[in-house]
């Protein structure tokens, strides 16, 4: 049994497998299928300062080896999270990380401050990359100046480990990563969804109510892997890789590309136990190949 | 209710007319308690064209024989593959999902179950369940033509069956909502399941007549377990996931134009 422990800032993970925001609910939705203590952590749904109804239905379109979504950050707001959800999940034996979203700097800061006070939430993932809301979100994540501004403000307000989730809908993701590193982010996670579209040809109209949406699933993996590779070589802080992971082999690829930890998103819908299996698969791979710890595997590629 | 992911074995797969099939599955492991109106998420295969699971209603559940029946209309890639499954093949399901139909508390109520086309699927198990619990359900089944009226003999085991087809090839000609039964008798409770325009017409009739009515929705889904928030319906309480809060709703919860 290899050592699977990983540290991201002050956050200690028992293994490098996390579940991605918006795809794993609050974890409780999956408790019938697997023991949540078997994974490194659960990143819960995007949470905003005020409640959000999200976008109109239809919000989903299946695509080859993937899907488009346009949920639009539907959630009941941070106060509801604190009063109604946090008490139910605070004692789960894994790291519960909250994904914080917003449309103004003030909202991000106010929401992050409230989460910052919760004893059993060890880290915040700052979502500056949601493509599904008109205001803000991705707007911050697509320029170095916007990303710096929001990270700087949130960094001042919270002491917990701060992971910044990056948008792939940019020319140079490594530049954005460097900008948020400079403002004190402890880690970056990438990628959020890629902007895409689907058309219903019988009705001759877009499938999604919002016309465009975010693409995820195995179809985005090569793009995500390339971005993780480029980013991990550009920054010193740990990189969390995600985008299209459906099995342990994909996870090993991301780790070899330079990811310290990984997240699994869309594939939870197909196999609700995939995150547990990926952890087991990484462990078996490390043993077979004589690695004593997963840390040794990070970026351990022959060429490049 | 606890949900399970497990492999089921195809016992029989019978095609019905040109576009439908009846898939009978047997459980290898435990057969969880299943309520009428609940559904399963079917893993079609691992090809790129059928990436997500497909939601399918529970047509019938037989705990003693550990059998689950699915009634499927071939409309695309996934349902076509399901219609081609052979006995002995395995199918992975997440089961049971959603909340079912409500069961009245007094037995002497006149219950009418109205189905349109393949939408009638969940009403068979509902009818059987109601009969077993001392109710006397009646069924009003509608379809485009005779070739889209499904399982009417099977429905007959659990109550009177009234039929309507749009082309008049079987039963009364016209939509279910124009059936003479609705003029003759007023039910105490309606359950409707079928295409959206049909459910809307039933809901309008129910609202007019002040009859309580439940409908079962088929919004497109990704996860089926309340995690992705893709399957929402606009209700009087705001957007709710039909996979966990439904798929069955009382019409007075919805914001339909009735
Ligand atoms: C709760 C629930 C219960 C259901 N029960 C049954 C059932 O008992 N029997 C049955 O035959 N079907 C049922 N359906 C519908 C079934 O899930 C879809 O027909 C199926 O997913 C289509 O998959 P496909 O790969 O064959 O079609 P695809 O190739 O994915 O799609 C073919 C076409 O159908 C459209 N389509 C796909 N899904 C839906 C949908 N949910 N509603 C409307 N249009 C759709 C697509 O937009 C496309 O135009 C149910 C759906 C839900 C949500
Ligand atoms: C239905 C859905 C909802 C999502 N919601 C969020 C969210 O609220 N916040 C966020 O940062 N990312 C969200 N994402 C993006 C995922 O966390 C992840 O970055 C992306 O899907 C790529 O990973 P995957 O291919 O493994 O799914 C969502 C993705 C999906 C499919
Ligand atoms: S289908 Fe994912 S929440 Fe309903």
| CATH number for A175 | 3.20.20.70
Class level of CATH domain B111-253: alpha beta
pLDDT for the residue numbered B78: 97
The arithmetic mean of pLDDT across residues B217-227, rounded, is 98
Residues 6+ apart with CB under 8 A from B174: B164, B166, B168
Structurally, how many domains does chain A consist of?
A: 1
Give the dihedral sign, CA B242/B246/B248/B252.
negative
How many whole angstroms from A296 Cα to the centroid of ligand 2? 28
pLDDT-derived band at A304 (thresholds 50, 70, 90) equals: low
How many whole angstroms from B82 Cα to the centroid of ligand 1? 12
Q: How far is B20 from chain A (nearest CA, A)?
A: 22
What's the rounded Cα separation, in Å, for the pair B93 and A129? 34
Question: Which atom of ligand 1 is closest in space to residue B220's alpha carbon?
Answer: 41
pLDDT, one tens digit per residue, over B112-135 is 999 999 999 999 999 999 999 999
Residues 6+ apart with CB under 8 A from A99: A21, A22, A43, A44, A45, A46, A47, A124, A125, A126, A127, A165
Residue at A64 is within a domain:
no
Residue at A304 is within a domain:
no
pLDDT, one tens digit per residue, over B49-102 is 999 999 999 999 998 899 999 999 999 999 999 999 999 999 999 999 999 999
Q: Which two tokens stand for residue B120?
A: 């009638």
Q: Work out the mean pLDDT of chain A and round it to a whole number.
A: 95
Neighbours of A206 (CB within 10 A): 18
pLDDT for the residue numbered B228: 97
Contact map slice: B 215-234 vs A, CB within 8 A: 219-234
Residues of A in contact with B224 (CB under 8 A): 269
Residues of A in contact with B43 (CB under 8 A): 270
DSSP sequence for A276-293 = HHHHHHHHHHHHHTT-SB
Class level of CATH domain B4-97: mainly beta
pLDDT, one tens digit per residue, over A100-120 is 999 899 999 999 999 999 999
pLDDT, one tens digit per residue, over B141-156 is 999 999 999 999 999 9
Neighbours of B28 (CB within 10 A): 12
* Predicted confidence (pLDDT) at residue A217 exceeds the cutoff of 60: yes
pLDDT, one tens digit per residue, over A55-107 is 999 999 999 999 999 999 999 999 999 999 999 999 999 999 999 999 899 99
Bigger pLDDT: A131 vs B207: B207
What's the rounded Cα separation, in Å, for the pair A215 and A68? 4
Residues 6+ apart with CB under 8 A from B185: B110
The full 3-state SS of B66-113, as one line of letters, equals CEEEEEEECCCHHHHHHHCCCCCCEEEEEEEECECCCCCCCCCCCEEE
Q: Where exactly does CATH 2.40.30.10 map onto chain B?
A: 4-97
**With a 6 A CB cut-off, is B228 part of the ligand 3 pocket?**
yes
Q: Work out the mean pLDDT of chain B and round it to a whole number.
A: 96
Residue at A144 is within a domain:
yes
How many whole angstroms from A235 Cα to the centroid of ligand 2? 23
Range of the structural domain that residue A83 is part of? 6-54+72-195+216-297
A6 phi and psi angles, rounded to 5 deg: -145, 140
- Identify the closest residue of chain B to A217 by CA–CA distance: B51
Contact map slice: B 148-207 vs A, CB within 8 A: none
Residue at A65 is within a domain:
no
Q: Where exactly does CATH 3.40.50.80 map onto chain B?
A: 111-253
**Of A25, A54, A271, which is closest to B227 when you measure between CB atoms?**
A25
Surface-to-core class of residue B229, CB atoms within 10 Å of its CB (0-12 exposed, 13-18 middle, 19+ buried): buried
Partner B contacted by A268 (CB < 8 A): yes
pLDDT-derived band at B46 (thresholds 50, 70, 90) equals: confident
Residue at A211 is within a domain:
no
H or E element, residue B50: none
Q: Are strands B161-165 and B172-173 parallel, antiparallel or unpaired?
A: parallel
**Lowest mean pLDDT segment, chosen from A10-14, A138-142, B29-33:** A138-142
Q: How far is B225 from chain A (nearest CA, A)?
A: 7
pLDDT for the residue numbered A140: 87
Q: Where are the alpha helices (DSSP H) in A77-118?
A: 78-80, 86-89, 105-116
Surface-to-core class of residue B132, CB atoms within 10 Å of its CB (0-12 exposed, 13-18 middle, 19+ buried): exposed
**Lowest mean pLDDT segment, chosen from A7-16, A41-50, A123-132, B64-73:** A123-132
Question: Which atom of ligand 3 is closest in space to residue B224's alpha carbon?
Answer: 1
How many whole angstroms from A250 Cα to the centroid of ligand 1? 30
Q: Is the Cβ pair A64, B2 closer than 8 Å?
A: no
How many whole angstroms from B219 Cα to the centroid of ligand 3? 9
- Identify the closest residue of chain A to B4 by CA–CA distance: A33
Q: Are A258 and A230 in contact (CB under 8 A)?
A: no
Residues 6+ apart with CB under 8 A from B183: none
pLDDT-derived band at A137 (thresholds 50, 70, 90) equals: low
Residues of A in contact with B225 (CB under 8 A): 25, 29-30, 272
Q: Which two tokens stand for residue A200?
A: 């219903």
What's the rounded Cα separation, in Å, for the pair A295 and A261? 9
Q: Are A8 and A238 in contact (CB under 8 A)?
A: yes
pLDDT-derived band at A233 (thresholds 50, 70, 90) equals: very high
Residue at A62 is within a domain:
no
pLDDT for the residue numbered A291: 97
Share of chain A above pLDDT 90, in %: 94
SS3 A260: coil
Kindly provide the ipTM of the predicted complex, given to two decimals.
0.95
Residues 6+ apart with CB under 8 A from B223: A23, A29, A268, A269, B41, B230, B243
**With a 6 A CB cut-off, is B219 part of the ligand 3 pocket?**
no
Share of chain B above pLDDT 70, in %: 100
Partner A contacted by B75 (CB < 8 A): no
Instruction: Report the interhelical angle of A173-182 vs A144-157 (nearest 10°).
Output: 30
Q: Tell which of A26, A34, A59, A274 to mutate to test the B interface (max B CBs under 10 Å).
A: A59
- Identify the closest residue of chain B to A26 by CA–CA distance: B227
Residue at A208 is within a domain:
no
Share of chain A above pLDDT 70, in %: 97
Return the number of CB contacts < 8 Å for A and B: 88
pLDDT-derived band at A133 (thresholds 50, 70, 90) equals: low
Question: Which atom of ligand 1 is closest in space to residue A207's alpha carbon?
Answer: 47
């Amino acid at each position: 049994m290899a050592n699977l422990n990983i540290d991201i800032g002050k956050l200690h993970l028992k293994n490098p497998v996390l579940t991605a925001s918006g795809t794993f609910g609050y974890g409780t939705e999956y408790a019938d299928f697997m023991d949540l203590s078997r994974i490194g952590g659960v990143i819960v749904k995007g949470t905003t300062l005020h409640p959000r109804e999200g976008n109109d239905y239809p919000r989903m379109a299946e695509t080859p080896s993937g899907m488009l979504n346009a949920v639009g950050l539907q959630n009941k707001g941070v106060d509801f999270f604190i009063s109604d959800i946090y008490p139910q999940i605070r004692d789960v034996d894994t790291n519960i990380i909250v994904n914080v979203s917003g449309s103004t700097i003030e909202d991000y800061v106010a929401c992050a401050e409230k989460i910052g006070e919760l004893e059993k939430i060890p880290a915040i993932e700052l979502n500056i990359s949601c493509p599904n809301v008109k205001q803000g979100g991705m707007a911050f994540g697509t320029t170095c100046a916007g990303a710096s501004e929001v990270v700087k403000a949130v960094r001042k307000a919270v002491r917990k480990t701060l992971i910044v989730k990056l948008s792939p809908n940019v020319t140079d993701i490594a530049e954005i990563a460097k900008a948020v590193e400079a403002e004190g982010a402890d880690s970056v996670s990438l990628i959020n969804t890629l902007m895409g579209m689907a058309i219903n040809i019988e009705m001759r109209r877009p499938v999604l109510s919002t016309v465009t949406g975010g693409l995820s699933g195995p179809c985005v993996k090569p793009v995500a892997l390339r971005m993780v590779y480029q980013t991990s070589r550009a920054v010193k802080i740990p990189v969390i890789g995600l985008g299209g992971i459906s099995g342990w082999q994909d996870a090993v690829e991301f780790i070899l590309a330079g990811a310290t930890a990984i997240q699994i998103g869309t594939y939870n819908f197909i196999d609700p136990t995939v995150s547990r299996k990926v952890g087991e698969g990484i462990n078996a791979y490390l043993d077979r190949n004589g690695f004593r710890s997963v840390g040794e595997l990070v970026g351990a590629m022959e060429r490049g | 209710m606890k949900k399970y992911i497990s492999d089921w074995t195809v016992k029989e797969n019978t095609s019905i007319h040109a576009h439908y099939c009846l898939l009978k599955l047997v459980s290898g492991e435990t057969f969880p308690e299943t309520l009428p109106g609940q559904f399963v998420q079917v893993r079609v295969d691992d090809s790129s064209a059928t990436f997500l699971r497909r939601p399918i209603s529970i047509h019938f559940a037989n705990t003693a024989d550990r059998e689950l029946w699915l009634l499927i209309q071939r409309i695309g890639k996934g349902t076509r593959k399901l219609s081609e499954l052979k006995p002995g093949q395995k199918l992975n399901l997440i089961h049971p999902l959603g909340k079912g139909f409500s069961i009245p508390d007094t037995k002497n109520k006149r219950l009418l179950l109205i189905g349109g086309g393949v939408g009638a699927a969940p009403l068979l198990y509902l009818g059987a369940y109601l009969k077993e619990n001392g109710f006397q359900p009646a069924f009003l089944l509608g379809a485009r033509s005779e070739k889209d009226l499904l399982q009417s003999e099977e429905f007959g085991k659990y109550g009177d069956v009234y039929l309507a087809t749009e082309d008049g090839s079987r039963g009364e000609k016209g939509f279910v909502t124009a059936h003479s039964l609705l003029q003759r008798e007023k039910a105490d409770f309606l359950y409707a399941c079928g295409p959206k325009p049909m459910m809307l017409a039933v809901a309008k009739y129910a609202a007019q007549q002040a009859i309580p009515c439940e409908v079962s929705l088929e919004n497109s889904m990704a996860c089926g377990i309340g995690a992705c928030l893709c399957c929402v319906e606009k209700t009087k309480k705001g957007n709710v996931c039909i996979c966990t809060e439904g798929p069955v709703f009382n019409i007075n919860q919805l914001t339909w134009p009735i």
